[in-house]
């Protein structure tokens, strides 16, 4: 299995793959690289599930499952660059939703914006006490996915 800049991949039990969003200093907000990493791992598992019977998707650290898109990365982006990034984010969401292996979300903190949408795309969500969900992008004029 590949290694990734923004994800930790492990096998906590037989036939189980755990994918951990690993940008805790940024509340696990997905940037373009994390979206590409998620596309790669989910499409790879979808095309060749091998012995994988379940996927756990969670966030590193204690603060957030995923704070959504990294808005700092968007600062200064042209409309064309933002459109290209948005297509990558859409492909990421489809890769999770269309995965034939059951995806279990272990929601261990804030799931805001695109993180809330990512949590909505899993097959089963187990939510830690105190986890929060919100569509915060509406405060800055972005339409939720």
- In tens digits, the chain (145 residues) has pLDDT values of 689 999 999 999 999 999 999 999 999 999 999 999 999 999 999 999 789 999 999 999 988 999 998 888 888 889 899 889 989 999 999 999 999 999 999 999 999 989 999 999 999 999 999 999 988 766 666 666 6
Active site residue 51: no
User: Nearest-CA neighbor of 101 among 58, 43, 46, 41?
Assistant: 46
98 within some domain: yes
Whole-angstrom distance, CA of residue 86 vs CA of residue 35: 10
E strand or H helix at 89: helix 79-97
Residue 103, judged by CB atoms within 10 A of its CB (0-12, 13-18, 19+), counts as buried
pTM attached to this predicted model: 0.92
Question: Among 43, 51, 90, 137, which one carries the catalytic annotation?
Answer: 137
Does 2 reside within a domain?
no
Residue 51 lies in a domain: yes
28 closest CA partner among 3, 7, 2, 11: 7
Instruction: Determine which one of 43, 51, 90, 117 is catalytic.
Output: 117
Q: Is 43 a catalytic residue?
A: no
Q: Helix or strand or coil: residue 39?
A: helix
Residue 49, domain member (yes or no):
yes
Work out whether strand 103-107 and strand 124-127 pair parallel, antiparallel, or are unpaired: parallel
* Containing structural domain, residue 89: 7-140
Rounded Cα–Cα distance for residues 77 and 127 (Å) = 34
Residue 121: which CATH number?
3.90.226.10
Q: Is residue 1 part of a domain?
A: no
How many structural domains compose the chain?
1
């Amino acid at each position: 299995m590949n290694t990734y800049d923004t994800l930790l991949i492990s096998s906590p039990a037989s036939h189980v793959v755990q994918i951990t969003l690993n940008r805790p200093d940024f509340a696990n907000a997905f940037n373009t690289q994390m979206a590409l990493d998620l596309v790669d791992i989910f499409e790879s598992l979808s095309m060749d599930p091998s012995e994988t019977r379940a996927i756990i998707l969670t966030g590193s650290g204690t603060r957030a499952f995923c704070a959504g898109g990294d808005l700092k990365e968007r600062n200064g982006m042209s409309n064309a660059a933002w459109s290209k990034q948005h297509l990558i984010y859409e492909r990421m969401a489809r890769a999770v939703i269309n995965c034939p292996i059951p995806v279990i979300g272990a929601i261990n903190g804030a799931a805001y914006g695109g993180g809330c949408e990512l949590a909505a795309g899993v097959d089963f969500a187990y939510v830690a006490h105190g986890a929060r969900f919100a569509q915060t992008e509406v405060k800055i004029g972005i339409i939720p996915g």
